[in-house]
Amino acid sequence: MNSISVSELLKMNNCNIIDIRSVEKFNSNHIPGAKNIQMESLLISPNMYLKKDEKYYIYCQKGISSLKICNILKNQGYDVYSINGGYEAWILQK
């Protein structure tokens, strides 16, 4: 499974970051530049949101759900990486 640490993510510019948390949590605070795509929507219709020739970095609150989603999407041919520790790790790193 491909994953990335927050410190590695911080070194990157202009990457596709997807927050799969609830709209309320996203609106409360999120990683700058992230798009909010609900977990269920991403699983039901990934082709509406993702392109197979681009990389995506996906996170949830703690990194558990994003890891599961990345495994599913990876098996469907998407280039996805789970952000280790999720949003909570981001808060601790910034």
pLDDT (tens, 9 = 90+) of the chain, 94 residues, equals: 689 999 999 999 889 999 999 999 999 999 999 999 999 999 999 999 999 999 999 999 999 999 999 999 999 999 999 999 999 999 998 6
Query: pLDDT digits over 50-73, tens only?
Result: 999 999 999 999 999 999 999 999
60 is catalytic: yes
Q: Which sign, positive or negative, has the C-alpha torsion 56, 61, 67, 69?
A: negative
The residue from 18, 39, 60, 89 that is catalytic is: 60
Coil, strand or helix at 16: strand
Tokens 């790193």 belong to 93
Closest to 19 measured CA to CA, from 42, 48, 3: 42
* Domains of the chain: residue spans and CATH: 3-93 (3.40.250.10)
> What does the pLDDT read at residue 78?
97
Q: How many Å is the Cα radius of gyration of the chain?
A: 12
